[in-house]
């Protein structure tokens, strides 16, 4: 199962590093990553491999990490985006 | 692979445009619960519902969490109760309503629908018992919803039942007069009722359905409105294409959630109902879509055309997005549940008569309309008869959910709370129709019902 992580918030040093460190610790592989800054706001999307992972735990951890570094982090299953945007 | 832009678009819909899955409704047949002993019947009903739906709320929440899309309501619909309680009498019907209420509370669903009777051509003793019990049943329970189908394009309209509906609506208003006639908000009168509708208050599990089924209702008026903001001033072709594409995307989310819920609960998938159902929240309104289309207020000349466009293109976009589309599917136009509609009534732009015209092209009918408490029962029956005639002649579902609020008059506002919202009391035509309603009997089926 693939998951999409979105990170939105005020730009600061080390956001990507902190998210990636968490994912590495949990042995969650990053398949794709893209990032932009819109009007000073940091906007990142990652596609990750969640096979063998507990979705709920990863989600709770990421939300907590987001609070810690002052950004909004969401984890969603990729299926919702595929359903909506692919025929 | 999914692009950054697509992810942003979906999450924008969820976070800022109120995209949600409005309800996962589990349909449960109670046919196998029948028993000549009322106590045993109640026990079987309670056990079947609580066993079938024990994981419904938890599963719904889990799915909502994983996809990141809110699943607002988890609900249950059951076999029309008049069939299950037939022969038990009026008092037993009320007891079964209370059993349904207890079961709903036990599994944590906010509504359970199906306290219903289908009397479009005539009533059995069981139907009469149930209909007579509705006021007491709805005023002594919290989560039970009721509906009566009084007409169909195939059978005509049962005018005896229509007359009775006016009377029981008044009785319910009286019994719940201290609670803004709340019982009336849980009761719908139908023409051409559908058997797989997941939306309340009119949901029931039809007799042609399997033992248990998962039906899902999706919504997202705010998403449609936001999409239309990008094509402001464009021609109708562009307008229709935009609604269609948006409806497709919304429905795909519903389809995904429905299949996942069906898999996890081990209950077959029934249908997606792709209805645009507003809530009282700002940005979740059908009237706001009309405004975006270019109407000053809902109810202004052009509103019926705008609604026809909306309803048709929601269906066109939605049918390709799901393998099974059903239920009511289209645009709902409740007054109390849509702040834009309420504003339109308060501005004098929207009348009961205009709403009736709009119901010719929307998915259902006159919905959540508060009227003065002194409106005669025969006038309420007359309003119902008109609405049923629209459904019968146009081969569509129509419904009436009307709320006479005792002691309230035009200019007052009543508060129902939660998703039911609040409503200004709307004026009703003062001229009588008592002699017409008193005739009784049945309106024969329309000529175009003879299709065989």
Q: Which residues, 6+ apart, have CB-to-CB distance to B157 below 8 Å?
A: B120, B150, B151, B191, B385, B388, B389, B392, B442, B443
Burial letters for B110-147: b for 16+ Cβ neighbours within 10 Å, e otherwise?
bbbbbbbbbbbbebeebbbbbbbbbbbbbbbbebbbbb
- How much is the average pLDDT of B429-441? 96
Chain A neighbours among B 198-257 (CB < 8 Å)? 249, 252-253, 255-256
More confident residue, B348 or B4: B348
What does pLDDT average to over chain A?
A: 91
CB-based contact B2 A81, cutoff 8 Å: yes
Cβ-Cβ contacts under 8 Å between A and B: the total is 56
Residue A36 contacts B where some CB pair is shorter than 8 Å: yes
B12 pLDDT more than 90: no
Interface probe, candidates B6, B7, B250, B256, chain A, greatest A C-beta count within 10 A: B7
A63 pLDDT more than 90: yes
pLDDT for res B417: 82
B189 pLDDT more than 90: yes
Q: Which residues, 6+ apart, have CB-to-CB distance to B432 below 8 Å?
A: B376, B378, B379
B308 pLDDT more than 90: yes
Partners of B65 on chain A (C-beta within 8 Å) are 56, 59
ipTM of the complex: 0.89
CB-based contact A6 B66, cutoff 8 Å: no
Can you tell me the distance from the alpha carbon of A34 to that of A52, in angstroms, rounded to the nearest whole number?
Answer: 24
CB-based contact B7 A6, cutoff 8 Å: yes
Q: How far apart are the first and last CA of chain A?
A: 19
pLDDT for res B16: 85
DSSP letters for A19-85: HHHHHHHTTPEEEEEEEEEETTEEEEEEEEE-TTS-HHHHHHHHHHHHHHHTEEEEEEETHHHHHHH
Partners of B69 on chain A (C-beta within 8 Å) are 80
CATH code for the part of the protein at A2-85: 3.30.70.260
Percentage of chain B beyond pLDDT 90 is 87
Residue A34 contacts B where some CB pair is shorter than 8 Å: yes
Instruction: Judge whether B385 and B151 are in contact, CB under 8 Å.
Output: no
CB-based contact A32 B1, cutoff 8 Å: yes
The reported pTM is 0.93
pLDDT for res B331: 87
Q: What is the dihedral of CA B287, B293, B294, B298, to 10 degrees?
A: -20
pLDDT for res A37: 85
Instruction: Judge whether B146 and B107 are in contact, CB under 8 Å.
Output: no
- How much is the average pLDDT of B204-216? 96
Domains with residue ranges and CATH for chain B: 26-191 (3.20.70.20), 216-446 (3.20.70.20)
pLDDT-derived band of residue B18, with 50, 70 and 90 as boundaries? Answer: confident
pLDDT-derived band of residue B1, with 50, 70 and 90 as boundaries? Answer: confident
SS (HEC) of B208-271: CCCCEEEEEEEECHHHHHHHHHCCCCCCHHHHHHHHHHHHHHHHHHHHHHHHHHHHHHCCCEEE
Q: Which residues, 6+ apart, have CB-to-CB distance to B348 below 8 Å?
A: none
CB-based contact A83 B68, cutoff 8 Å: no
For the stretch A2-47, pLDDT in tens is 999 999 998 888 899 999 999 999 999 999 999 888 777 889 999 9
For the stretch B43-92, pLDDT in tens is 999 999 999 999 999 999 999 999 999 999 999 999 999 999 999 999 99
Residue B347 contacts A where some CB pair is shorter than 8 Å: no
Query: CA of B77 to nearest chain A CA: how many angstroms apart?
Result: 27
Nearest-by-CA chain B residue for A86? B2
B41 pLDDT more than 80: yes
Residue A74 contacts B where some CB pair is shorter than 8 Å: yes
What does pLDDT average to over chain B?
A: 95
């Amino acid at each position: 199962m693939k998951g999409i992580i979105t990170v939105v918030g005020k730009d600061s040093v080390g956001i990507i590093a902190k998210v990636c460190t968490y994912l590495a610790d949990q042995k969650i592989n990053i398949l794709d990553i893209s990032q932009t800054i819109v009007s000073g706001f940091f906007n990142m999307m990652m596609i990750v491999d969640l096979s063998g992972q507990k979705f709920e735990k990863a989600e709770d951890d990421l939300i907590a990490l987001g609070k810690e570094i002052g950004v909004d982090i969401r984890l969603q299953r990729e299926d919702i985006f595929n359903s909506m945007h692919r025929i | 692979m999914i692009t950054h832009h697509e992810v942003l678009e979906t999450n924008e819909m969820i976070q800022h445009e109120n995209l949600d899955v409005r309800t996962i409704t589990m349909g449960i047949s109670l046919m196998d619960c029948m028993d000549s002993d009322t106590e045993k019947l109640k026990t079987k009903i309670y056990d079947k519902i609580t066993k079938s739906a024990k994981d419904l709320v938890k599963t719904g929440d889990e799915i909502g969490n994983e996809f990141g899309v809110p699943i607002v309501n988890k609900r249950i619909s059951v076999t029309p109760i008049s069939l299950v309680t037939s022969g038990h009498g009026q008092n037993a019907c009320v007891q079964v309503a209370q059993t349904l209420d207890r079961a709903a509370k036990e599994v944590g669903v906010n509504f359970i629908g199906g306290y219903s009777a289908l009397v479009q051509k005539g009533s059995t003793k069981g139907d009469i018992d149930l209909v007579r019990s509705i006021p007491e049943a709805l005023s002594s329970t919290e989560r039970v919803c009721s509906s009566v189908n009084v007409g169909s394009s195939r059978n005509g309209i049962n005018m005896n039942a229509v007359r009775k509906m006016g009377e029981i609506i008044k009785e319910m208003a009286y019994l719940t007069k201290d609670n803004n006639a709340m019982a009336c908000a849980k009761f719908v009168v139908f023409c051409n009722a559908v058997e797989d509708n997941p939306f309340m208050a009119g949901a029931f599990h039809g007799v042609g359905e399997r033992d248990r089924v998962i039906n899902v209702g999706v919504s997202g008026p705010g998403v449609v409105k936001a999409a239309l903001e990008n094509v402001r001033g464009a021609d109708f072709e562009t307008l229709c294409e935009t609604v269609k594409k948006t409806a497709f995307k919304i429905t795909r989310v519903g389809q995904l959630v429905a299949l996942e819920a069906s898999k996890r609960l081990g209950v077959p998938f029934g249908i997606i109902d792709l209805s645009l159902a507003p809530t009282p929240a700002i940005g979740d309104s059908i009237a706001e879509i009309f405004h975006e289309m270019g109407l000053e207020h809902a109810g202004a000349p052009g509103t019926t055309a705008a609604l026809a466009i909306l309803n048709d293109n929601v269906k066109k976009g939605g049918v390709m997005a799901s393998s099974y589309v059903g239920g009511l599917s289209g645009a709902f136009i409740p007054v109390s549940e849509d702040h834009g509609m309420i504003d339109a009534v308060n501005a004098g732009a929207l009348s009961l008569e205009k709403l009736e015209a709009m119901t010719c092209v929307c998915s259902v009918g006159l919905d959540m309309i508060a009227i003065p408490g002194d409106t005669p029962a025969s006038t309420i029956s007359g309003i119902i008869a008109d609405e049923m005639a629209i459904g019968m002649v146009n081969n569509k579902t129509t419904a009436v959910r009307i709320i006479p609020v005792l002691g309230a008059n035009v200019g007052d506002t009543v508060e129902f709370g939660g998703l039911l919202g609040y409503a200004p009391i709307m004026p009703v035509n003062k001229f009588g129709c008592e002699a017409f309603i008193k005739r009784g009997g049945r309106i024969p089926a329309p000529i175009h019902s003879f299709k065989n």
